[in-house]
Each structure stands twice: as structure tokens, then as C-alpha cells.
Amino acid sequence: TWTTGSVIDEQVALIREQVGDRRAICGLSGGVDSAVAAALVQRAIGSQLTCVYVDHGLMRKGETEQVEKDFVAATGVQLKVVDAEERFLTALKGVSDPEEKRKIIGREFIRVFEQAQAEIIADEGPAVEFLVQGTLYPDVVESGGGTGTANIKSHHNVGGLPEDLEFQLVEPLRKLFKDEVRMVGQELGLPEEIVQRQPFPGPGLGIRIVGEVTKERLDLLREADAIAREELTAAGLDREIWQCPVVLLADVRSVGVQGDGRTYGHPIVLRPVSSEDAMTADWSRLPYEVLARISTRITNEVTDVNRVVLDVTSKPPGTIEWE
Ligand code: XMP
């Protein structure tokens, strides 16, 4: 019978057998899959694993700290964090086109990751021959079931990998579905915020600012997003909602009034959706009181935002993200 305990024991044994006394690298994205894969491999081979986290500056409030502090505390994993915010912001300067943003973020990510990888390989120690990936069963099916090579969906995995991959892959989640991965993560003692995390795009908040991405806009959006997430969690709605992008319309301004003054600020869009697999989605019928609280808090607490609007479009025709 299937138990998380037996899955963990079986995978730990297999990973030990595969890796032996060599070393492995794993890229952490902040998401569930890479976190659980890394935790499993860490349990199997300990310090023979090094994780890499590229901080591109496009994460939501508190997420980088979650990886750097909570994940490390829970697993004891050896982690290399690369602070690349400047680099990403410089590369994104003046860019408004969504696909252009994705390309730039993907390209910079690979460069930074490869650099970190080269540094790890250059360290003293046994050969680094393995790359850990959080491939799930649905990914395996979708990609035709092959193994041993890097088979990455370019669009949906900006946390992606170098093309000229010479590593052997370690994929301990290949037989699991998402909910099983969450159970394994929980059993491994990972923080709740990581285990229950909703889908979040690799390019992060970079594709939730309609317009150019700047530090100021990111900070503003991070605040609005944190408020929305806080209120949705407080209302107990996390399990009902597939995800809720919070989008800043940076190139739009509208007139408002605050105190006895006129304001001319930006709108924030709430995009709560329900979905099974993100291929199709419906807009979530959130309780009005929750929407009201989010709206009041965002307009009061986030400077330069004077309007909150709700996206009531299903997918299709709308996508889940605005970019
Ligand atoms: P759309 O907007 O296409 O999103 O309806 C479907 C799902 O994919 C996520 N998404 C991305 N994930 N890199 C990612 O890793 C991306 O460039 C990207 N674009 C969209 C989106 O959050 C949703 O879960």
C-alpha cells in the first residue's frame, strides 16, 4: 500500500544507489516540487547535495527568506544563494513586452545558475555528476515518458536548465501527483507555506506588472500581493483558489480622492481563479466581504494605488496571468 513513509524510504534507497559517493546539484525555485525533491535527496545523501537559489528580485514578499531560512532550517540542506536582483532589473530596464520579459528573465536565470554551478563544481570534493529535478508524473506523461535527459517545457519552466546538460538526472518525484508530493513534503517536515504553496510563475512578479519592471513598482506590487494573500488565507480560501495573481497596471492611472485631495494613482487587479490544471479556469466567486477587506487595505496601505478591480474573465478567453 502507498504511504508517504514507504515512498520516502524507497526513494532514499534509490537515490543513494544512483548517486553513490558523488555529488549532486539542485536548483530551488521556491516552489513545492523543487523543495520536496531537494529535501528527499538531502535525506538520502546529505552534504553531497548543494542547492542553488537564484534571487531574481521578482519573488513575492517573504518568499526568499522562506527558502533561505525556513527551508534550510527544516532540511539542513547546503544552500548557495545568488543575489541577482540588480542584474535582472538592469536587464529588464525599458522592457514592457511580456514575451521579451520572459526571454530576458529565462536567459539571465540560466547564466546565473550556470555560474553558480561552475563554482560548485570547482569546489573541492567528489565529482558533481547529478542534477536533481522536481519532475512529477504529469510532466513525465506530457513529455512522452523519457528519462535521463533534460526535457523542459521552455514556457513554463523559467527555473530552467542549461541546454548543454551533461548531468544525469535525479528525479525522485517521477511517480507522484501534486497532492502526493505535498504529503511527502509534509512528512519530511517542510514548512507549511512551502508545502501548500499555490502555483507561481517562474518569471515571478516580472510578468505581473503591465509595463516596465522597476524596483519601485515591484515593491508596491509586493505589498498589494502580500495583503491579498494574507486576507485570502485569513478567510480560509487558500484551498478553494487555484491561484490569485495580483497585477499592477503600471501604465494606467485613474483619478481618485483621498482626504480632501485628488489622487492620480494606479489600479491593482485581483485575478482569483479556480482550476484543475491551469489549462482552463473560472474566476472565483469570492465573498464580497473578503474582496472589500482586500480593497480597503490595499488602497489604504499601498502608496500610489487608488483603485482595486476584480477580473471576472474565465480561461479561455482570458489567460490566468495578465502577461
Ligand atoms: P496562463 O497565464 O497561461 O497560465 O493561463 C497558466 C499557468 O502557468 C503559469 N505561468 C507560468 N509559469 N513561467 C512559469 O513557470 C511562465 O512564464 C508562466 N506563465 C504562466 C500561471 O501562473 C498559471 O499557473
Q: How far is the CA of 279 from the centre of ligand 1 (A)?
A: 10
| Sequential DSSP letters for 246-300 | EEEETT--EEEEETTEEEEEEEEEE--EE-SSSSSBEE----HHHHHHHHHHHHH
Domain with 220 in it: what CATH number?
Answer: 3.30.300.10
Both 182 and 244 in one domain: the answer is no
- Statement to judge: residues 90 and 63 lie in one domain: yes
The interface pTM score, or ipTM, of the predicted complex is 0.99
Q: Are 299 and 308 in contact (CB under 8 A)?
A: yes
User: Would 202 be classed as within a structural domain?
Assistant: no
DSSP letter assigned to residue 197: P
pTM of the model: 0.92
Domain check: are 125 and 258 in the same one? no
Of the residues 195, 223, 246, which one is the last residue of a structural domain?
A: 195
Taking each helix axis from N to C end, the angle separating 178-187 and 32-45, rounded to the nearest 10 degrees, works out to 50
Q: Residues annotated as binding site for ATP?
A: 29-35
Asked if residue 161 and residue 135 are part of one domain, the reply reads: yes
- H or E segment at 36? helix 32-45
Residue 146: predicted pLDDT:
62
Residues 97 and 129 in one domain: yes
On whether residue 239 sits in a domain, the answer given is yes
**Count: domains in the chain:** 2
- Residue 203 CB–ligand 1 contact under 6 Å: yes
Ligand 1 pocket: which of 103, 246, 315, 321 to mutate (most atoms within 8 A of CB):
321
Q: Which distant-in-sequence residues (6+ apart) come within 8 Å of 271 by Cβ?
A: 244, 245, 246, 247, 283, 311, 320, 321, 322
Per-residue confidence (pLDDT) for residue 165, from 0 to 100:
52
Residue 202 near ligand 1, beta carbon < 6 Å: yes
Asked if residue 317 belongs to a domain, the reply is: no
Collect the ranges in the chain with pLDDT lower than 50. 149-162
In a domain, 319, yes or no: no
Q: Give residue 5 CA to ligand 1 midpoint distance, Å.
A: 32
Question: Do 173 and 78 have their domain in common?
Answer: yes
- Which of 32, 155, 156 is the pocket-test mutation for ligand 1 (most atoms within 8 Å of CB)? 156
pLDDT in tens, 146-180: 655 443 333 334 344 445 557 999 999 999 999 99
pLDDT reported for residue 2:
84
Rounded CA separation 306/272 (Å) = 20
For residue 31 and ligand 1, the question of a CB distance below 6 A is answered with no
284 lines ligand 1 (CB under 6 A): no
Q: Compute, in angstroms, the gap from residue 307 CA to the centroid of ligand 1.
A: 25
Ranges assigned E (strand) in 156-281: 168-170, 209-210, 246-249, 254-258, 261-270, 273-274
Residue range(s) defining the domain that contains residue 178? 4-195
pLDDT tens digits, 75-134: 999 999 999 999 999 999 999 999 999 999 999 999 999 999 999 999 999 999 999 999
Q: How many CB atoms lie within 10 A of CB 168?
A: 15
Q: What percent of the chain has pLDDT over 90?
A: 91
Specify the residue with its C-alpha closest to ligand 1, atom 19: 201
